Structure formats: structure tokens, C-alpha cells
Amino acid sequence: MNDMHIEHPYLVFLGDAHDQLAAKTADGVAFWRREWCVGQLRLPGCNADTGLPDMTVSEATAKGARSLIVGVVNAGGVLPESWTDTIVEALEAGMDVASGLHMRIADVHAVRETAERLGRRLFDVRHPTRDFATGKGTRRTGKRLLTVGTDCSTGKMYTCLAMEKEMRARGMKADFRATGQTGIFIAGGGVSVDAVVADFISGSVEWLTPDNDPDHWDLIEGQGSLFHASYAGVTLGLIHGSQPDAMVLCHEPTRANMRGLPDAPLPPLDLCIRANVEAAHLTNPDCRMVGVAVNTSALDEGEARDYLGAVETETGLPCVDPVRDGVAGLVDAVS
């Protein structure tokens, strides 16, 4: 991640993904950066489809592709030989390769050797390779919004990206800042903050969101939850390093327990809001929670309206489902 900047256009690699969920990262890239993607490359047996046109490495090269994006989960820890062949072919065709796999493609001999020989770049986006300073908490210029959650996987990335789109449509200066693998492909760079050494969590986020124009918004992708027993340390460092002016709480109302922790209930919204705001005040005493973003996909339209209305009443904050409603209400709250 040495000053990572993944060049687009992208060719999105799906391998032989056994279902659509295995291609979740590729789906995110195709959805949010359709204009950066020339197509998808699927191997025999692939059961996923991003909707991008299918093409070979040479067809993608002819369309200007600069990077192959490995946005898929492989079963087991070993890279299939068919995947390695495609990655090497892409390097030989002139592309860089960026991977979101847990294993490092740079550890695969044929891949590393080819990249070194040809001067191509390999990005293992789950594995930060640059060093960071420890966080300092010094106030920076520009404005920052961080999404936080009652739990993991509650729409924090989606909400940031929707707000980026809405702000840009209004002529505001706004940049999505990625802290996870899918977000990094979508932004073309970022920090996989959960993979940083513990002492440098807040420092890595300070690096990611430096001084900027006074009217510029960094929209920072949150991770985990202050109430998740596995990952709360990451979340707290992210809050302190972001020194957010504003936060949006992301929530999924039908979840029975914290993700991966069957016995852990979700926190009440009011407690979650208070705890996040108190934590944020350490590095930005003016930080406030400006709204709630709810993923109501498991509810029908009537239930969703009732739920969103109830949360507005309970919290006194604008409450939207970014998919059903858009995020104009959240952008209004910081404009």
C-alpha cells in the first residue's frame, strides 16, 4: 500500500465464484464505479455475474484496462491454478493486479516473479505495507463525516458512497475515504484499517484524511461497532483518527445478534449514539450525530416507513433508508 493508487479502467475478475455472495466485492465495484469497469472475466463454473460485459484479458486490454481487480472470495486458502494463470496473463498484457483475498497474491511465486520482471504493481489491499505514525489528535482543516454502526455490515460503506454521490450532485466537494477492501477498489486507494498494527489505528486514519479545503468533506467508511466485542478497538481508533465533525449511525433492524457473536444482543440506539458521540469528542469536541441510516431491505414498504418514523421520533434525528429514500436528508443535515 505504498502510496497506493490503483489505476483504472478495471477488468473485474470473478474466477469460478460459486455464488453471487462470493463476488460481493466485485458487485460493489461494478455498482459504484460502473464507469471505471470495462468488463468482467469469469472462468468456467462461475455462478456469479456483476452485469458487466464478459471479456478476455486481451479484449479488456484493447478497451484500455489498466488493472485486474480480484474482487472475489476463494474457497480455502490456496489460489487455484486457473486464477494464477489469469493473473499472470493480465500482468503480461500490461495490467497491474489488485487483490482483496486474505492470502497475498504477492506471495505466489509465479505472480511475484512476473510482476517484478515486467515492472507491474501488485496491491494486496487487505495487507497494509506502508508504515504509519501514531495518531496525534491534532485538528486538521476540512470537514469529515464518519459512518458508525450498531454492528458490522449495517451499510456504513454504502451510506458514505451514497452521500458522496449526493454531495457531488449538489456541487459540494466530497471524497469517499475507504477503510476496507471493497471500498479501496471503489476509491482506488485507502487503508484496510483492521489490518493495521494496533498502535497505529488512529494514525492510519489521520494519514488517510489529511488537511483539506475548509468546505471539503471526507466521507469516511466506518468499520465494526463500539459494541462489537471482537472489533471495537478498530472502531474507536477510527473515530479518534477521523476526528469527525459529523457521524451517521447505520443500523439493520432485524438482526437478532451481533454478527458472529450469537449470544450478544445489539445495543439500544440511544446508548449507541451517546457512546459514539462521547468517544468522538476526545478529538473533536464539536462532533455530533446528524442522522440514522437504516437498511430496511428485510421489511416491506409499510413496515419500513413505520420503523423509520419511529426511529426519527426516538432519536430526534433524520432517519432514512439510503436505498429506498436516498440520502438527501442526511446531506441536508450537514449542509
Binding track over 169-198 against its own copies, x by CB under 8 A: ------------------------xxxxxx
Nearer Cβ to its own copies (63/136): 136
Three-class SS state of 198: helix
Crossing angle of helices 232-242 and 269-280, rounded to 10°: 50
Are 203 and 252 in contact, with CB atoms under 8 Å apart? no
Take residue 176 and report the three cell numbers written for it: 469517499
Three-class SS state of 100: coil
* Contacting residue, 1, 145, 201, 290, with its own copies by CB under 8 A: 201
* Contacting residue, 74, 202, 209, 276, with its own copies by CB under 8 A: 202
**Is residue 278 near its own copies by the rule CB under 8 A?**
yes
Are 98 and 188 in contact, with CB atoms under 8 Å apart? no
Q: Taking the mean position of all CA atoms in its chain, how far away is CA 52?
A: 20
Binding piece for its own copies, criterion CB under 8 A, among 5-13, 96-104, 258-266, 295-303: 258-266
Nearer Cβ to its own copies (172/282): 282
Nearer Cβ to its own copies (240/251): 240
Considering only residues 297 to 316 of the shown chain, the ones binding its own copies according to CB under 8 A are none
Where b means 16+ CB within 10 Å and e means fewer, 237-252 reads bbbbbbbbbbbbbbbb
Nearer Cβ to its own copies (61/235): 235
Considering only residues 79 to 138 of the shown chain, the ones binding its own copies according to CB under 8 A are 134-138
**Is residue 246 near its own copies by the rule CB under 8 A?**
no
Whole-angstrom distance, CA of residue 304 vs CA of residue 306:
5
- Strand partners of residue 176: 219
Given the rule CB under 8 A, which residues bind its own copies?
134-138, 193-199, 201-203, 226-227, 229-238, 240, 260-261, 263-264, 275, 278-279, 282-283
